Structure 1
Amino acid sequence: MKGNDLRLGLGVGAYRFFDTTEGGAGPAFQNHHGIKPLLSLSAQYPLPGGAVEAFIRVNRTFGSGLPQTQAFLVGISLPFTPRDPGMRRDAPAPRNPRGVPSDPDHELTIFLGRTILNSFESEATELLGATAIEYRRRLEGHFDVSIGYFDEGGLDSVRRDGIAPQIWFSQRSADGRWMIGFGAGPYFSRDFPAEDRRNAGSSVTIRTSTRYSMVIGRHIRGHWAGRLQWNRTLTRYHRDTDVLMVGLAYQW
């Protein structure tokens, strides 16, 4: 084992959990959310060639109440900003490769996907039953902002559409072709009554929820890029959803 080939890590942070439980006297299920302390231990070691690293990680939650979880992960990692061996770790990465627009600040994306209700049955829309359009603006450093309109599709137990502004922490690869990001913000939605409530004359309800999102993108050609995005809506009325989407983005 040479010099700094093996890297060990210790991390402490917060674990945001989403838990679906039995409903008791109320609905058939309930969605509970919370935050617990999280402790992580990790080890990383480069595989032959040095471009890819193998890692092992153990995550353990602490604190009172349920859920208490422990996870053991094994995988490989690929550096998002590969550099020459002689370059310092904090040296700036090369930018603006041929075939990729020069640091586009604006992006408009059309999404199609599926909505899954966080219940014991995991009711879902048709494969392309959810739609969205989103505008993203790149800020300084690793931050973006976005605003999007989402139609979650037609589930009898949750029929929703609305506006979701978000702030993102994102990272782009050195060659500009890949990007990953995590976003969070409010979700202002119209909640349409379920089928049984529609028959009883119930009206549309305006609600404010929280939405978390993760995205991975790949430059295709010219101004065009592909997107895979996961959106989690957290509600106070036990109608949490996952919206899984694929999108086509135009950048300028």
Structure 2
Amino acid sequence: MAGRERVLRMSVELPLWRALAGYRVLTMLYALGLCVTTYDQFTRPWIAIGYDAVLAVWTLATLPRVRGAASCTKGFLAADLTIALAGVLLTAFADSHQRIAGGPTLPTIWTGGAVLAFAVKGGWRWAAVASTVVAAANLVERGQLARDTLHSLILVWVASIGIGYVVEVARVSERTLARALEIQAATRERERLARDIHDSVLQVLAMVKRRGTALGGEAAELGRLAGEQEVALRTLVAGGLLPV
């Protein structure tokens, strides 16, 4: 159990969750900054401002949710992806067709964080599903498959699946290491108990030998047999046939 706890404390997932939390905050700030600097270019700026306000509140309020796998529930992932998809689809209502064709969506690269959360939580299969859904939403919002859009979607798809695969491999390795540490600890405990038992048995045999020799008669024969067993047991221990 102690070995498993050590493995959990040094889990490779912890840095990934911290990086994900930082990514979400930084990309949220980027989306806000982009919205503010291009405010006058939106056809319906109030949609952009309203969505980015919701995005900021959601990102900050849900930071505790991306601290680890236990707090990052399926319900949170679904809601998080919904926020991202809503921003992608609302872009068509907030901006002109000309800007949509070559410009970013309302959540911009924050959407990648929602997909990466699926990857870190559930592995590459979850990441593949989430990135595919995001890709479909982007295609609906754009209305066409432009080269830049395709490149961005492929990048998110490959990166999220790659990270998800690495997470799965790391989890298997951690479980294997934890099991090995448990076996090692159990083996050491068995060896310690064996040494204690051997020492106790040797002491008893030595005492029987001394008492039998002192009493004489049949007790002396019993003492002689105990002495032979003591010598045999010490030979086994010294020869490495028993744990020492």
TM-score range, shorter chain: under 0.3
Larger gyration radius, structure 1 or structure 2: 2
Higher strand share: 1
Higher helix share: 2
How does the TM-score come out when normalised to structure 2?
0.21
Larger RCO (CA under 8 A, 6+ residues apart): 2
